[in-house]
Structure 1
Amino acid sequence: MTTRTGLIIGKFYPLHIGHIALIERAAGEVDHLVVLVLATQIETIPLERRTAWVSTATAHLASVTVLGILDDAPVHYDSDIAWVAHHEVTMAALRRGGIRSIDVLFSSESYGAELAERLGAVHVLHDRERRRIPMSGTAGRARLADRWMQLAEPARLDLATRIVVIGAESTGTTTLSVALRAHYRARHGFESIAEVDEYGRRFTYELHERAAAEARASGSPQPRVDDLVWLPEHFAEIARTQTRMEQSAAVECALVIADTDAFATSLWERRYFGTHSSAALEAATTDLPRRDLYLITDHVDVPFDQDGWRDGEHIRGEMTGWIVDGLSARGLPWVLLRGVHSTRLEYSIEVIDALFAKNSTFVSPSWAPPNQ
């Protein structure tokens, strides 16, 4: 029985649901499908990241092989020198992947017929007019926030601008996080920005409720917050849950503003158990997504608000130092915010706007064709 090998070539810049639909269709029509990611040095997102997106998004398709190669040859569909240059890059990538020949080329582009002929393959044209899925790479690059839900999930998780507000107890982290999310929800494209609150506080309530229920059952006095028994695995659970919440937010919106994160949880574990305890730190180190910026709310000139659940007033200064030194040691970007809330908010918006503009700017070479 003859085995049919299919090929899809694309920039996947960025990877979107139209790409996935094409790949899934092709995978169902051939025995082995090669998805070849082509990237230039000029483009903003490097080849490795795009290849990883495609590999993750197609992991459920056993017949798919993802390859990647740099292709800096200018694109000119009426030029033989350009066709030869691209053909040789394609063949080099296929040889490196152990692929000897291609039987079917799948594409959504007008150039697909000639490319298939040069490869000695049959051409299958898929949704050329983008009627089934009205989405293109050009549209994604032009309006990233507006088109967010049309990107493939691995691309969303990687491209989201992630801001983490972090600070010692009662330094205004939640106040700033809430205000920032409210500010951006009023902007077009950011209406779906999700709540990423401090899971550790919710966990504390639950831990206290369990301890109170046990006390009631045994006839013991009701526990105070200071009586709670914390374990390293509690902090690991908080760290992992905090990261899951952040990841869910990144799927929903191009901007994530999180009130604390797994790294901050590791500092609370340090506070209770010392530097030798590392359950949360291991979770943070293993699973912590890429960060764009930490906003550190300073303790200086901020009154301590005792709400009945806090006990860290005496170490706020030390903890601010832990945060600064810990982030610096890991090479993570941070800005210290000192001053009244309105000043902090305005200053934060300025840097967040700049970071999002950077992250949503896609550079393409002058010869790049549209709709890819």
Structure 2
Amino acid sequence: MKRHGHGLVLGKFYPPHAGHHHLVETALARCERLTVLVCASSVESVPLEERVAWMREIHPDALVVGAVDDIPVDLHDPDVWDAHMAVFRSAVREPVDAVFTSEPYGEELARRFGAESVCVDPGRTRFPVSGTAVRADPAGCWDFLKAPVRAALTRRVVVLGAESTGTTTMALALTDHYRRRGGVWARTRYVPEYGREYSELKLAELRAEHPGATWADVAFHSSDFPVIAQRQAELEEEAARDGSPVLFCDTDAFATTIWHERYMGTASPATGEVAALGRQHLWLLTDHRGVDFEDDGLRDGEHLRPWMTARFLTQLAHTGRRTAVLSGPHEERLAAAVAAVDALLAEGWHLTDPLPERR
């Protein structure tokens, strides 16, 4: 039998890290039921709903609820305490038997709930990390973060371009470059182009019925492209959950909108809807000039390469996407790409500070 009936863990979880998860798991082991209350202020960068979703995924056995708390913290002011407790009680209406914290305010918080205070690893000796440290340097705290948080914080870089312009070569070269940095960067992932796999499947299916069929016999339909875009987005999301702070993608859903124009001659609203949900940060456009066209059996658009490069540039600018154009020999392209990615990473994550606290 567990020691406590209803337990409570309360925090900003901005963002949640290994110390938070240890606290929740400890409480789950000691309570019949556990509520995790996520409190977020309006000034913070990560929305309350996203933090609640993260905690629900990571701790499915707990009841995770959220509340907006825009009251600055002052542990010495009873009136401020009363205001915070009004927020807490509006979100947690069931009586609480035990409050689990790692903070000095745990005793007073538990007293106000009429509950027992349980302090867990107050010195953070087991997991030497804090929300402040994660916000200041997500990459340096990467190993303390769970999959959904990593996915949200990963800087996603897309390599895109017309046919046979070296997008795959560049994406793989960048992946290798950052893996060589070691540490968390050794886990840098690469997301292949799903459209190519889809094309190979279409050709194989056609050849099953007509053995002599070639790429010229394959017909695309508008309905193919949202499927390609959605699967590309899913592969990207899966890789972002399990990689380093940077992810390299050989195309994305946005690029698929241009491929729809190339094959269908019109825009695809359905594909555009998938692209609008993307969380990419940088697009590297491979220039067709200076790159020989190689027909690998799935290409037929050499004459369209100038149009596609121009169309990519136009739409990247129109949609406000951060873009670097890669031109010249491969070595120059790679150097320019690394410089653009390093500049992105050097800017950091811009996670705003929480409301001021007086402890």
TM-score category, normalised to shorter length? 0.7 to 0.9
* Percent of residue pairs identical: 38
- In the alignment, what sits opposite 1:112? 106
- In the alignment, what sits opposite 2:226? 236
User: 2:33 touches 2:62 (CA, 8 Å); kept in 1?
Assistant: no
Deviation for aligned residue 1:167? 0.8
Secondary structure of the residue that 1:195 maps to in structure 2? Answer: strand
- Once residues 250 and 110 of structure 1 are traced to their aligned partners in structure 2, the CA distance between those partners, rounded to angstroms, is 36
User: 1:169 touches 1:310 (CA, 8 Å); kept in 2?
Assistant: yes
Q: Deviations over 1:222-260 (max 9, x none)?
A: 111111122333322221221111112211221101110
User: 1:300 touches 1:338 (CA, 8 Å); kept in 2?
Assistant: yes
Q: Does 1:263 align with 2:254?
A: yes
Q: Deviations over 1:8-38 (max 9, x none)?
A: 2323232124323433554572556241324
Aligned amino acid, residue 93 of structure 1: V
- Once residues 281 and 117 of structure 2 are traced to their aligned partners in structure 1, the CA distance between those partners, rounded to angstroms, is 42
Change (3 A) 1:275 1:195: same
Aligned amino acid, residue 236 of structure 1: P
Q: Does 1:226 align with 2:227?
A: no
| Correspondences of 1:24-173 after superposition (within 5 Å) | 24-26=25-27, 29=31, 31=33, 33-39=35-41, 41=43, 45=46, 49-51=50-52, 53-54=54-55, 57-58=58-59, 60-61=60-61, 63-73=63-73, 80-81=76-77, 84-85=79-80, 87-94=81-88, 96-97=90-91, 99=93, 102-130=96-124, 135-137=129-131, 140-141=134-135, 144-145=138-139, 147-173=141-167
Aligned amino acid, residue 223 of structure 2: E
- In the alignment, what sits opposite 2:197? 202
Q: Which runs of 5+ in 1 are unaligned?
A: 217-221
Q: Deviations over 1:94-136 (max 9, x none)?
A: 2553748654321122331233224443212234354665654
Deviation for aligned residue 1:172? 2.0
Deviation for aligned residue 1:143? 5.3
User: 2:154 touches 2:246 (CA, 8 Å); kept in 1?
Assistant: yes
- Once residues 82 and 319 of structure 2 are traced to their aligned partners in structure 1, the CA distance between those partners, rounded to angstroms, is 42
- Once residues 149 and 111 of structure 1 are traced to their aligned partners in structure 2, the CA distance between those partners, rounded to angstroms, is 28
- Once residues 368 and 343 of structure 1 are traced to their aligned partners in structure 2, the CA distance between those partners, rounded to angstroms, is 49
- In the alignment, what sits opposite 1:280? 271
Change (3 A) 1:327 1:276: closer
Secondary structure of the residue that 2:306 maps to in structure 1? Answer: helix
- In the alignment, what sits opposite 1:346? 335
Q: Which runs of 5+ in 2 are unaligned?
A: none
* TM-score (structure 2 length as normaliser): 0.84
- In the alignment, what sits opposite 1:182? 176
User: 1:37 touches 1:50 (CA, 8 Å); kept in 2?
Assistant: no
- In the alignment, what sits opposite 2:238? 248
In the alignment of these two chains, the number of paired residues is 353
Q: Deviations over 1:281-331 (max 9, x none)?
A: 33333xx33121111112233332233321111111221222223233333
- Once residues 334 and 246 of structure 1 are traced to their aligned partners in structure 2, the CA distance between those partners, rounded to angstroms, is 19
Aligned amino acid, residue 168 of structure 1: A
Deviation for aligned residue 1:180? 0.8
